[in-house]
């Protein structure tokens, strides 16, 4: 009896063994959590979904139960700090990523060893559409500002496109708009003023679609990245910003930007904007 009491006392006072460290990948940080993103039709989460590009997939009318089932598979993750890589070029693609907050740049490696920026993803934008067919990412995604995401598993999207009428068409429309926005600024011989004006108008339209001011913008990317994306030199982009400011088309203070003449900017860069 005394031996059993001594053993029990020893177990109670023993130093606990530390749990092994949790290994996490970029897309599954310790703060990732699985929860419904649209708890009710009046909640703030639902309002956030309504201004999201993937809302056409999530909010399929007349299929509330199936949509609810999809929400149960959505993972909220982040925030990811600036400089974090969400995935690398060539990585397997297993989910669509929707930016909830922050800014992400999409880049590919050039033969020279330098990176080329294909585009930027901001709140409401979907990352990974171009990788659905091959199920492998053709670019890398790097965080520019602290970013939070919704992660929608590809298997869930695929299953729902087979059961929810119209969902496949919505996905194709989303992919088409994504490609249209991504390519228009990268083709043709256009002047720097036209390229930058078109880029600023795209940012303005993006903000307006989400219920924000079309004229007061926050630049989530440095000018060196804007120059890379527009295939211009950083010096050219800086001169063009100054030129537009002198013409009183814009007012810029660091990364805070006000568009003073939307009509003139649209006329200048309209040829590069999606129809």
Q: Which residue has the higher pLDDT, 236 or 10?
A: 236
The tens digit of pLDDT for each residue in 244-264 reads 999 999 999 989 999 999 999
Pick the range with the lowest mean pLDDT from 52-56, 156-160, 198-202, 238-242: 52-56
Write the pLDDT tens digit of every residue in 103-119: 999 999 877 778 899 99
pLDDT > 90: percent of the chain: 43
**Residue-wise pLDDT tens digits, 45-89:** 444 555 565 555 454 444 455 555 555 667 888 899 999 999 999
Q: Are residues 138 and 163 in the same domain?
A: yes
Residue 11 belongs to a domain: no
Domain boundary residue among 130, 157, 184?
184
pLDDT digits (tens, 9 = 90+) for 177-221: 777 666 666 666 789 999 999 999 999 998 998 888 999 999 999
Is residue 146 situated within a structural domain? Answer: yes
pLDDT greater than 50 at residue 12 = no
Q: Distance (Å, rounded) from C-alpha 29 to C-alpha 78?
A: 7
179 and 193 share one domain: no
The Cα–Cα gap between 46 and 37 comes to 7
Q: Are residues 265 and 202 in the same domain?
A: yes
Residue 24 lies in a domain: no
CA distances from 170 to 50, 131, 160, 166 (A): 15, 17, 12, 6
Q: Is the Cα dihedral 219, 224, 228, 233 positive or negative? A: positive
Q: What is the pTM of this model?
A: 0.76
Domain contains 4: no
pLDDT for 271:
78
Whole-angstrom Cα Rg for the chain: 23
Structural domain includes residue 15 = no
- The DSSP secondary structure of 43-83, one letter per residue, reads SHHHHHHHTSTTHHHHT-TT-HHHHHHHHTT-EEEEEEPTT
Domain count for the chain: 2
Give residue 18's Cα distance to chain centre.
37
In percent, the amount of the chain with pLDDT more than 70 equals: 69
pLDDT at 174 over 70: yes
Q: What angle do CA 235, 118, 26 make, to 5 degrees?
A: 110
Q: Torsion angle of alpha carbons 190, 274, 96, 152, nearest 10°?
A: 150
Residues of the domain holding 214:
189-272
Identity of the highest mean pLDDT range in 32-36, 150-154, 227-231: 227-231
Say if CB 83 and CB 142 are below 8 A apart: yes
Task: Between 41 and 241, name the one with better pLDDT.
Answer: 241
Which residues, listed in sequence order, are joined to residue 103 by a DSSP beta bridge? 145
28 or 166: which leads in pLDDT = 166
Q: Which of 145, 165, 184 is the last residue of a domain?
A: 184
Return d(Cα 233, Cα 228) in angstroms, integer. 7
Asked whether the predicted pLDDT for residue 92 surpasses 70, the reply is yes
Q: What is the pLDDT of residue 156?
A: 83
Mean pLDDT of the chain: 78
What's residue 59's pLDDT?
Answer: 45
* 136 within domain boundaries: yes
On whether residue 134 sits in a domain, the answer given is: yes
Same-domain pairing of 196 and 158? no
Whichever domain contains 38, its CATH number is 2.60.120.10
Residues 134 and 157 in one domain: yes
């Amino acid at each position: 009896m005394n031996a059993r009491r001594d053993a029990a006392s020893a177990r109670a006072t023993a130093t606990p063994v530390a749990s092994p460290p949790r290994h996490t990948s970029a897309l599954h940080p310790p703060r990732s959590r699985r929860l419904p993103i649209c708890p009710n039709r009046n909640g703030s989460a639902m309002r956030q979904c309504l201004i999201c590009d993937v809302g056409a997939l999530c909010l399929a009318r007349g299929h509330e139960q199936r949509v609810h089932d999809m929400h149960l598979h959505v993972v909220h993750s982040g925030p990811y700090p600036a400089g974090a890589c969400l995935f690398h070029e060539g990585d397997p693609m297993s989910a669509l990523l929707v930016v909830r907050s922050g800014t992400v740049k999409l880049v590919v490696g050039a033969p020279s060893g330098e990176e080329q920026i294909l585009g930027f993803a901001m709140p409401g934008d979907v990352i990974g559409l171009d990788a659905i067919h091959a199920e492998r990412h053709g670019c890398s995604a790097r965080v520019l500002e602290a970013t939070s995401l919704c992660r929608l598993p590809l298997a869930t999207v695929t299953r729902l496109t087979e059961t929810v009428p119209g969902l496949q068409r919505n996905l194709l429309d989303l992919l088409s708009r994504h490609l249209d926005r991504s390519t228009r600024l990268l083709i043709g011989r256009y002047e720097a003023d036209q390229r930058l004006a078109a880029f600023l108008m795209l940012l303005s339209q993006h903000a307006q679609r989400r219920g924000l001011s079309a004229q007061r913008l926050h630049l989530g990317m440095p000018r060196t990245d804007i120059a890379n994306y527009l295939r211009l030199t950083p010096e050219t982009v800086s001169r063009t910003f100054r030129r537009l400011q002198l013409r009183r088309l814009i007012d810029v203070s660091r990364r805070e930007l006000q568009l003073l003449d939307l009509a003139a900017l649209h006329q200048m860069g309209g040829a590069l904007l999606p129809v």
